[in-house]
Structure 1
Amino acid sequence: MAPSPTPDPGNGARRLPAGRKAELAEFVAQAGEVTVAQLAERFDVSADTIRRDLDALDADGVVVRTHGGAVSTSAVPRPDTGVEVRLRLRTAAKERIGVLAASLVRDGAALLINAGSTTLSLARALSDHRELTVATNNLRIAAEMSPSVYRDLYVLGGAIRPSAQATFGPVRFAAWSDGPEIDIRCDLAFIAVGAVSVTDGFSTSNVTEASMMSDMMDRAERVVVLADSSKFGRRLFATVAELDRADVLVTDADPPADLRDALTAAGVEVKVASA
């Protein structure tokens, strides 16, 4: 998080509302993520006033309102940020990534798609595809994907995490009767990750999620990792895989030189969905 701007002592309460809102928007943009209490103290106004200002800025698309505060639309979300907020962050980049990733899918293909706001953009971009077989732990995909797109749509079981609107558990299906579990294989696994690093590969914030993502990779002929450029150079708690586990990385901007070289050395094709 960027350092907070130096407070302007004194006359916060005497600012015109429009002026305060402009300064408030700038403050959120610099800080990335703030609470109502922080803003009320910074601008010397009541918490209710700040809430009204944030509601107005959210309606204008300047910030994203969260429970107890706000996030800059360009911020890198914290690992515990819910999917409803993530869906409104870096939306243009995610939409471009989704469209480019969807172009890799042929009609009739079998897909594994993990949870995340970027993979939801992919699912939305598949609207012109037909006869797909889709297995996912992303509950939003099950709700939003048109039946005209798929022949079969399966939701993987496991524990439900409401903030992620996803299930987390083994990548498998039980047989109808007593017997071995049904193994699954797919043409493409689309895996959205939280971080991409030269030294640490692909990572995410949750151990169970990392294990599930790795299992999805193992069951695919080709692995396509989706990550916007804010994920570059980061390392999160749980390692998903080394860079060479991916066949393709779809992103919205060229990776830094060291990461680009590492991806090339690992045999990963980088596809950039430029503006």
Structure 2
Amino acid sequence: MSATSDGSARRLPAGRKADLAAYVAEQGQVTVAILAERFDVSPDTIRRDLDALDADGVLIRTHGGAISPQAVPRPDTGVDVRLRIQTSAKDQIGALAAGLVRDGASLMINAGTTTLAVARHLAEHRDLTVATNSLRLPTEISPQAFRDLYVFGGVVRLSAQGTIGAVAFPTENGADRDIRCDLALIGVGAVSADAGYSTSNLGEAAMMSAMMDRSAKVAVLADSTKFGRRLFAQIAELGRADYLVTEAPPPADLAAALESAGVEVILPADVG
């Protein structure tokens, strides 16, 4: 062993990796620079350790650092990282939400990793009309599932891989064409008894709310890490949704508020 700058013995790589994994789990999200300073090794050494731990599934490697799989990601965490967090929960939610969709239906689907899970579970559906602000969804949904797929225009938000703009399609003379859908599938960032559904971005919140307004039924999708939280921008009150699709029962106060608001909670059969 060699000595660190404070005189203590530097751990062997296996020991360092274990401590590093524990530190990332404790902090939730860290940078290479912070880890290099804490463990008194070079940034290149930390990068190799993080790559190895990512390969083992212990943590998720990000650009410039790592994130714990159990951590609630920051609002600006990219889609590729968020796709690897709560994967089992999102897959369960995706399958349940797809069960609400009938063949031939028209759908509003917002950008997000949970809604991408829904898209993958629509492979056996047919003749759907889909309107979305997701730039990723057209590559995830089966071409056999939809008759028409439309992407709303607007400003591109790279972290979400989606657009932010009007929930509308202009006609030739510039006026917005009225559009209505059977079902809105809306993935949200937070669900709470007092604040309803919320997200981190004001433009996204406005767009999700407009999607709800243009749909006959609304299904909000949220895994259990979103419960009891409030983010910057409110999307809607609890009662604006007809369904909350999730993988685990909400806590008692939220469950009572959802029941009072007339929201049906849809859960996997083994936890329902």
When normalised by structure 2's length, the TM-score is: 0.94
Q: 2:211 aligns with which of 212, 216, 221?
A: 216
Alignment-derived partner of residue 71 in structure 1: 67
Three-state SS of the structure 1 residue aligned to 2:169 is: coil
Alignment-derived partner of residue 116 in structure 1: 112
Is the 8 Å Cα contact of residues 13 and 43 (structure 1) preserved in structure 2? no
Summarize the Cα distance change of 1:72–1:12 in structure 2 as closer, same or farther, 3 Å threshold.
farther
Q: Offset of 1:41 from its aligned partner?
A: 2.0
Summarize the Cα distance change of 1:178–1:52 in structure 2 as closer, same or farther, 3 Å threshold.
same
* 1:250 and 2:245 are equivalent in the alignment: yes
Q: Which consecutive segments of 4 or more residues in structure 1 shift more than 2 A?
A: 8-14
Letter in 2 for 1:208: G
Q: 2:223 aligns with which of 228, 231, 235?
A: 228
Equivalence map 1:1-275=2 (5 Å)? 14-175=10-171, 177-178=172-173, 180-273=175-268, 274=271
Take 1:110 and 1:11, find their aligned partners in 2: how far apart are those partners? 66
Alignment-derived partner of residue 5 in structure 1: none
When normalised by structure 1's length, the TM-score is: 0.93
Take 1:70 and 1:30, find their aligned partners in 2: how far apart are those partners? 12
- Alignment length, in residue pairs? 267
Is the 8 Å Cα contact of residues 112 and 187 (structure 2) preserved in structure 1? yes
Which deviations, in whole Å up to 9, do the C-alpha atoms of 1:219-252 show, x marking residues without a partner? 1111000000010111100010000000000011
In percent, how many aligned pairs have the same letter? 67
Summarize the Cα distance change of 1:28–1:186 in structure 2 as closer, same or farther, 3 Å threshold.
same
Is the 8 Å Cα contact of residues 12 and 44 (structure 1) preserved in structure 2? no
Is the 8 Å Cα contact of residues 25 and 63 (structure 1) preserved in structure 2? yes
Q: Offset of 1:68 from its aligned partner?
A: 1.3
Summarize the Cα distance change of 1:99–1:11 in structure 2 as closer, same or farther, 3 Å threshold.
farther
Which deviations, in whole Å up to 9, do the C-alpha atoms of 1:151-179 show, x marking residues without a partner? 0000011111122110110000011x215
Summarize the Cα distance change of 1:179–1:69 in structure 2 as closer, same or farther, 3 Å threshold.
closer
Is the 8 Å Cα contact of residues 5 and 40 (structure 2) preserved in structure 1? no
Which deviations, in whole Å up to 9, do the C-alpha atoms of 1:2-59 show, x marking residues without a partner? xxxxxx9967763221221122112111211111122112222111111110011112
Is the 8 Å Cα contact of residues 12 and 43 (structure 1) preserved in structure 2? no
Is the 8 Å Cα contact of residues 13 and 44 (structure 1) preserved in structure 2? no
Q: Offset of 1:110 from its aligned partner?
A: 0.5
Take 2:124 and 2:69, find their aligned partners in 1: how far apart are those partners? 29
Letter in 1 for 2:246: T
Take 2:27 and 2:97, find their aligned partners in 1: how far apart are those partners? 32
Take 2:98 and 2:5, find their aligned partners in 1: how far apart are those partners? 52
Three-state SS of the structure 2 residue aligned to 1:29 is: helix
Root-mean-square deviation (CA, aligned residues, Å) is 1.7
Summarize the Cα distance change of 1:12–1:151 in structure 2 as closer, same or farther, 3 Å threshold.
farther
- Which 5+ residue runs of structure 2 have no aligned equivalent? none
Three-state SS of the structure 2 residue aligned to 1:14 is: coil
Three-state SS of the structure 2 residue aligned to 1:255 is: coil
Letter in 2 for 1:191: I
Summarize the Cα distance change of 1:37–1:106 in structure 2 as closer, same or farther, 3 Å threshold.
same
Summarize the Cα distance change of 1:12–1:19 in structure 2 as closer, same or farther, 3 Å threshold.
farther
